[in-house]
Structure 1
């Protein structure tokens, strides 16, 4: 992944997250139960946080090198698996989909660990 792609993926994910947040607040508040709306909100929150993380990775790339690209792929995968599974769970009610969510969480943790390692390596 390149710096430019990190920025593109970050921006696309922010667009999706803002849209999903607005959809949850306005379109789903009368449709979903409070529990499922909270699940939706958690997906939005983590998508925003990690989309911002993708922007940060793009800024750090010149200083930390190509390992940042690996962190970016892990973060993007985490968004798809974590937030995506929560969105589908909230809309469908299929609880089994919740089993996918932790895989996304592990991808998030791995992304931040790769970033920490890349920074440590530069010190």
Structure 2
């Protein structure tokens, strides 16, 4: 599990850089201001959660289910949140807005919140033993 979390954290980080550059250069002319801000939000959240995945991968032994759930909430939450924003903004910019993605974004946000709650609990438990 530890290796998976670190690898996905690295992949999410690299993709955040790629998507950020793509949005800033290739899509900026295509997006209106609101679309650009939304796309940037997806990139920022993806990078933040790439970093917390790497921190989790370094900090947790992933022995208990709670630590595994933390990682899965971050992995799935990032995917649902950021990638649905990418889909919505790209679809909107090209007049093909995929409406089914609308409810996916808040689900991703909920997973991210749950991930942060579990991260806080798990890291506090580890700190007690240090």
TM-score for the superposition, normalised by structure 2: 0.85
Q: RMSD over aligned Cα, in angstroms?
A: 1.6
Using the TM superposition, give the Cα deviation of residue 26 of structure 1 relative to its aligned residue in structure 2, in angstroms: 0.3
State the partner residue of 1:101: 105
State the partner residue of 1:111: 115
State the partner residue of 1:32: 31
TM-score for the superposition, normalised by structure 1: 0.90
d(CA) in 1 for partners of 2:6 and 2:104? 26
Using the TM superposition, give the Cα deviation of residue 51 of structure 1 relative to its aligned residue in structure 2, in angstroms: 0.4
The alignment of Structure 1 onto Structure 2 pairs a total of residues equal to 121
d(CA) in 2 for partners of 1:120 and 1:16? 30
CA contact (8 A) 1:60 1:68 kept: no
Secondary structure of residue in 2 paired with 1:91: helix
Secondary structure of residue in 2 paired with 1:30: coil
Structure number with the higher helix fraction is 1
Distance 1:37 1:24, change over 3 A: same
d(CA) in 2 for partners of 1:73 and 1:102? 16
Using the TM superposition, give the Cα deviation of residue 95 of structure 1 relative to its aligned residue in structure 2, in angstroms: 7.0
d(CA) in 2 for partners of 1:45 and 1:95? 22
State the partner residue of 2:85: 86
Structure 1, residues 58-109: CA drift from partner, whole Å, max 9, x if none? 11113x7433221111001011110011000000022733322111010001
CA contact (8 A) 2:42 2:86 kept: yes
Using the TM superposition, give the Cα deviation of residue 28 of structure 1 relative to its aligned residue in structure 2, in angstroms: 0.3
